[in-house]
Amino acid sequence: MSLTMYDASIPVFIHSLQNLKAILEKAMAHAEARKFDPNVFVSMRLYPDMLPLNRQVQIASDSAKGAAARLTGTEAPKFEDNETTIAELTARVSKTLDYLQTFKPEQFVGAEERPITLQSSRGTLNFTGLNFLRHWAMANFFFHVTTTYALLRHGGVELGKKDFLGPAPQV
Amino acid sequence: MSLTMYDASIPVFIHSLQNLKAILEKAMAHAEARKFDPNVFVSMRLYPDMLPLNRQVQIASDSAKGAAARLTGTEAPKFEDNETTIAELTARVSKTLDYLQTFKPEQFVGAEERPITLQSSRGTLNFTGLNFLRHWAMANFFFHVTTTYALLRHGGVELGKKDFLGPAPQV
């Protein structure tokens, strides 16, 4: 036995985005308890030429939905990237979760061999589905979820790695 | 066709640790060019109660080697966690890479069903190999590699996501 491309992608994105949603909700509660506007987090950056928190969440969402679409040869919905509040970013994550939940394992049959072509700042990149998922989409996805966590931690929100990892799946 | 537990783990850890090594080398070169001690990065934190950079690298190393060992029912070498310089941390990553490169795909046959028991701050956790890899080890690994990157970016090292993602595997 082995695992399928579905097993290695959709449940990982869903689990981590559910945790990201809970993290954003904790940031909101943290600000409200201290009576400051939670939306000041939205434009926070770790360094002036790094992307702010809203872009981190948007790209985490895009990485997950883009990977699911590319691996199944379908088209992902385009989201407007117009979120300016933590509540809107939380809704963006929910919308991404709803989309990911529509995928069925059978759509991923043969996805490991599917040719994937990406336009990036490096030019045109060609991957097999397997290399796209494991060396690109997954790394990119976790990069942006972790950076969102790091920004909120840096901004004083009381979070721990437990929030990032989320509930441990029982068996 | 599908992928194996080896495909979904060892090459991912190796690719990302090679990128981490290059990132640490860039941090060293950055400090040397500006004539400051690169080892000031070692104790940097994004928030006072977050772990410093050396612990981030050590835990990234432990996550990868621990996952490889657990999934194959073998014992990982214990490293001393005594690194206090960027050069020592780079060597720690190299040592981890050497260890990961010893694994063979056939050692992972049946790993998706292997019962994995972990002691964590939450108590005893029980996973199947598949859930351990995708919802725990992989997330934990990327968390610490990304946080190392974030710390160095926050500290002014000129890095981009290209450094984090590394060379795109050609097909």
Q: Does B136 touch chain A (CB under 8 A)?
A: yes
Which chain B residues are within 8 Å of A63, Cβ to Cβ? none
DSSP structural state of residue A41: G
Mean pLDDT by 10 residues, chain B (171 residues): 90 98 98 98 97 98 98 97 98 98 97 94 93 96 98 97 90 61
Q: Are B148 and B56 in contact (CB under 8 A)?
A: yes
From the list A135, A143, A166, the residue facing B161 with the nearest CB is A143
pLDDT tens per residue across all 171 residues of chain A: 579 999 999 999 999 999 999 999 999 999 999 999 999 999 999 999 999 999 999 999 999 999 999 999 999 999 999 999 999 999 999 999 999 999 999 999 999 999 999 998 889 999 999 999 999 999 999 999 999 999 999 999 999 999 999 998 766
pLDDT at B81: 97
Of B11, B135, B146, the CB nearest to A146: B146
Q: Do B2 and A46 touch (CB under 8 A)?
A: no
Q: Note the pLDDT of residue A128.
A: 96
Residue B9's pLDDT is 97
Beta bridge partner(s), residue A117 = A126
Give me the pLDDT at residue A121, please: 86
Distances (CA, A) of B72 to A12, A131, B15, B65, B107: 21, 22, 20, 11, 6
Helix axes A10-33, A138-154, angle to 10 degrees: 10
ipTM over 0.95 threshold? yes
CA angle, A51 then A55 then A60, to 5°:
115
| Sign of the C-alpha dihedral computed for residues A113, A116, A121 and A123 taken in this order | positive
Amino acid letter, residue B94: S
Out of A8, A112, A164, the one facing B134 most closely (by C-beta) is: A8
Q: Which residues of B touch A116 (CB under 8 A)?
A: none
For B39-86, write each residue's pLDDT tens digit. Answer: 999 999 999 999 999 999 999 999 999 999 999 999 999 999 999 999
Taking CB atoms and an 8 Å cut-off, how many pairs form between chains A and B? 145
Say what the alpha-carbon torsion angle A19, A24, A26, A29 is, to the nearest 10 degrees.
Answer: -150
Question: What was the pLDDT predicted at A125?
Answer: 94
Predicted local distance difference test score (pLDDT) of residue B2: 78
Q: Measure A165 CA to nearest chain B CA, in Å.
A: 7
pLDDT at A169: 79
Q: Are A65 and A100 in contact (CB under 8 A)?
A: yes
pLDDT score of A171: 61
From chain A, the residues in CB contact with B27 under 8 A are none
